[in-house]
Structure 1
Amino acid sequence: MLRTAVPNLVALVSGFGWHVQDLHRAAEALNFRLNAISFPRVVGQVGTGTGRSRVEAGGIDLGQVDGVLVRMMPPGSLEQVVFRMDALHRLEALGVPVLNPPRAVEVAVDKYLALARLDAAGLPVPPTWTGESAAEALAAFEWLGGDVVIKPLFGSEGRGLVRVSDLELARRTFHTLERLGAVIYVQAAIRHPGYDLRAFVLGGQIVGAIRRHAPGADWRTNVSLGGRPELCSLEPEAERLALSAAKAVGTEMAGIDLLPDLDRGRLLVLEVNAVPGWRALAGTTGVDVASEILLHLKAARR
């Protein structure tokens, strides 16, 4: 693979908002070449007569770049998402560093699979039920204490979450999801002190952490939904859980959400995000997260 003095990186994105602009800022400061390309522009070529398949995006041969950052996995049909993952796996097979690794992205994007990995690793997680039957989901509603959070299996930033503590509302919600052909993902609502912890893990190290306070009477702490970020230092147990969670899911870069469970007096691992945002964390901690990400990707060159 041809290497140049200036690292040549590509970010696969779903839009060109703040995070992409921050990556460009960091790349310019580091004297790195960075191309941000919309994920749907990825194409694959097989049977070129060279004995190797080719993956391109925006006319760039991704097999020849120094690293590929998966900034976001945009919504799409099953075929579209499967092909995008196929392309990432192909790049990894060609020896191109991909952040996060394709298998880690596949696991983290699926809330059930990620939570099962965490549970299998012995990490504390909220009691959760997943299935397709409204009738069985209603039985799970009772098992989970009659106060639950219903989440989309795929989703982030707290969007699409519904908290339900009424039996009839739960019945209607589950039947609606069943009719839509959706997977029903139901989690026990955890009594918490009005905040959670977000740790940003990169290369087995914690880059920074914040405490996110829920706005007003809202139970969701996501900054994108109005949560207030606050600088914090993680206690040893929180640090251990964050690093163990990233390892269990296979992520080199992750946003780990930890939730204090007041009833059980312990921290729970709520989620592992393989395409984490860092705007609130960078602004609160002062850490140049974008530069740290690009430097980590550059160091992964083979």
Structure 2
Amino acid sequence: MSLETPRVGVLAFHTSPELRAIEGAISELGAVPVRLNEESLTLTAGDSGVSIEPDIDVCINRILLSTQSYPLDPIGVAHTISQAVPMINDPFATVRATHKFMTLSTLSEAGILVPASVCSLNHDRLFTSNKTLTESVVYKRAVGTHGSNVLQANRNNPPEPQFGDRLSLTQSRIKPPGDRWWDRRIYVVADSVIAAMDRFAAKTDWRANIARGGYAVDVTDDLDDVLVSLAVDATAAIGLDCAGIDLITDGDRWYVLEVNPTAGFKGLFSATGISPAPYIVALALDRISVSTDPEVLVKASKSMDEPTVSEM
């Protein structure tokens, strides 16, 4: 390392195995993890510019905007920090990724294939505005996580409004090959694919979420160059440094469903034996001109250990 004992901030207002794994990887790579949350963080601005307490050299943004009651507050915090130190996952790129239709429209404009979709505050128009929608559609809120607030619907027999005055969208429901519903999660850091898995829905569900009782299979070594490029290009189009890319195929073409800026990877690690955490940390260290030994990086990716030294 070219910088003596770097201090890597991890910005998050929640706790999770992934968060602890990132802090563990920071320790493993010889830096000091510094948790930035409501209990520890103070920001100041004045004649001398922006300052952060506790002191950090670089920051990894792990805010879950989809769970925030007042998301503009953490966005403001993250942006302020990004003015003072390099940040992994720009706060405004995370907004673009968290809002599902903003993601779809951005990808579409970039020439990346997405399912036909409609977004409207008018419930009836959700089911009539796009004639290319399949008869069976996915009906969901524009912001959500873990498959929550997601329903199946028939565009010819629309359901009653389900999400109050929240912005909603409909999307063509693409059926993948096989007897069970499944999709693919590809985890991207910088311009590289770290690991990938196919997620199969539980027998009684159509949503391929591990959090909803599904299971996963390692497909890291099965990806072709086209699919790798698609995942990397989707991450770049949204403006993120790292993301979990969700894709689905109809057997002929692959569609990008979502770009997850704070994607969980406990299930990915269970399926593949690879943790993205050290690769995220290595990217953060690279932003402050600190190099990482590739052998140490690979070794660190084989576990999701918690930090040995940290500041909370």
The question of 1:212 aligning with 2:199 is answered yes
| Secondary structure in 2 matching 1:145 | coil
Paired letter, 1:52 = G
Matches within 5 A, 1:259-270: 259-262=248-251, 265-270=252-257
Aligned to 2:62: 71
Q: Which residue of 1 aligns with 2:20?
A: 21
Deviation at 1:76, TM superposition (A): 3.1
Q: Which amino acid aligns with 2:68?
A: G
- Write out per-residue CA displacement over residues 46-79 of structure 1, whole angstroms, 9 at most, x where no aligned residue: 33xx3313344xxx14xxx1211122325334xx
Contact persistence 1:20–1:36 (CA under 8 A) = no
**Cα 1:19–1:84, aligned 2, differ >3 Å: closer, same or farther?**
same
Aligned counterparts of 2:208 and 2:159: Cα–Cα separation in 1: 26
Equivalent position amino acid for 1:89 in 2: H
The reply on whether 1:276 has 2:260 as its aligned counterpart is: no
Higher relative contact order (CA 8 A, sep 6+): 2
Partner residue of 1:131 out of 114, 117, 120? 120
The residue aligned with 1:244 is: 233
Q: Secondary structure at 1:229's aligned position in 2?
A: strand
Equivalent residue, structure 1, for 2:86: 97
Q: Matches of 1:195 and 1:134 in 2, distance apart?
A: 28
Cα distance, 1:31 vs. partner? Answer: 2.5
Provide structure 1 residue ranges, at least 5 long, that are not aligned to the other structure. none
Give the distance between the partners of 2:156 and 2:52, measured in 1 at CA: 50
Describe the shift of the 1:275–1:293 C-alpha distance in structure 2 as closer, same or farther (beyond 3 A).
Answer: same
Which amino acid counterpart does residue 254 of structure 1 have in structure 2? A
Q: How many angstroms does 1:253 deviate by? A: 0.2
Post-superposition shift, 1:39? Answer: 5.3
**Structure 2 equivalent of residue 229 of structure 1:** 216
CA distance in 2 between partners of 1:138 and 1:166 (Å): 5
2:30 alignment partner in structure 1: 31
| TM-score (normalizing by structure 1) | 0.85
State TM-score, norm by structure 2.
Answer: 0.83
Distance in 1 (alpha carbons) for counterparts of 2:288 and 2:105: 31
Is 1:81 the counterpart of 2:80 in the alignment? Answer: no
Q: Gaps spanning 5+ residues in structure 2: where?
A: 290-312
Report sequence identity in percent.
24
* Counterpart in the other structure of 1:54: 51
Aligned to 1:149, which of 138, 156, 161?
Answer: 138
RMSD of the TM alignment (CA)? 2.2
